[in-house]
Amino acid sequence: MSKLGKYFSLEEMTVTNENMDNTPGPTVRKKLKVLVDNLLDPLREMIDEPIAVNSGFRTLAVNKAIGGAQNPISQHTKGEAADIECFDNANMFQVILEHFQFDQLIWEKGNDRQPDWVHVSFKSNGNRNQILKYKNGKYIQL
């Protein structure tokens, strides 16, 4: 296990169900550490419960295989995004919204009370603080 921060390892941030190599290069590793240091670690401390990473970095091939965004290309392929879940995803979404800078925060699927998971991205500069919510089969900007 190689730690990227206090709570998250490189293995967690590069997990994939695809039977493909998903090893990031040094530039992506640095970006994953930026995401962990600025968002995931402090978020973990604030909500004080475990956060599971369903998907962090994806190579272009892995992103394509799972049907990830192509245009614009998913921030998962840059090491800037993570799909996360915890006991109360709606609360986690709200905590990110109120306490953090982010590039994109997405309420993924689910219903009005709970998203199935939360997508969040962070860049070392140029964060847009864009909030999207999945509703009736499409994403609406909040």
Residues making contact with Zn ion (CB under 5 A): 83, 119
Q: Which is nearer to Zn ion, 44 or 119 (CB)?
A: 119
- The residue of the chain with the least Cβ separation from Zn ion equals 119
Residue 13 to residue 1: CA distance in whole angstroms: 11
- 106 CB-contact burial (10 Å; exposed 0-12 / middle 13-18 / buried 19+): buried
7 vs 134 by CB, closer to Zn ion: 134
Cβ proximity to Zn ion, 29 vs 119, nearer residue? 119
State the minimum distance, in angstroms, from the CB of residue 119 to Zn ion. Answer: 3
Pick 10 or 82: Cβ nearer Zn ion: 82
Compare residues 35 and 48 and give the one whose CB is closer to Zn ion.
Answer: 35
To Zn ion, the closest distance from the beta carbon of 88 in angstroms equals 19
**HEC string for the chain:** CCECCCCCEHHHHCCCCCCCCCCCCHHHHHHHHHHHHHHHHHHHHHHCCCCEEEECCCCHHHHHHCCCCECCECHHHHCCEEEEECCCHHHHHHHHHHHCCCCEEEEECCCCCCCCEEEEECCCCCCCCEEEEEECCEEEEC
CB of 117 to Zn ion, least distance (A): 8
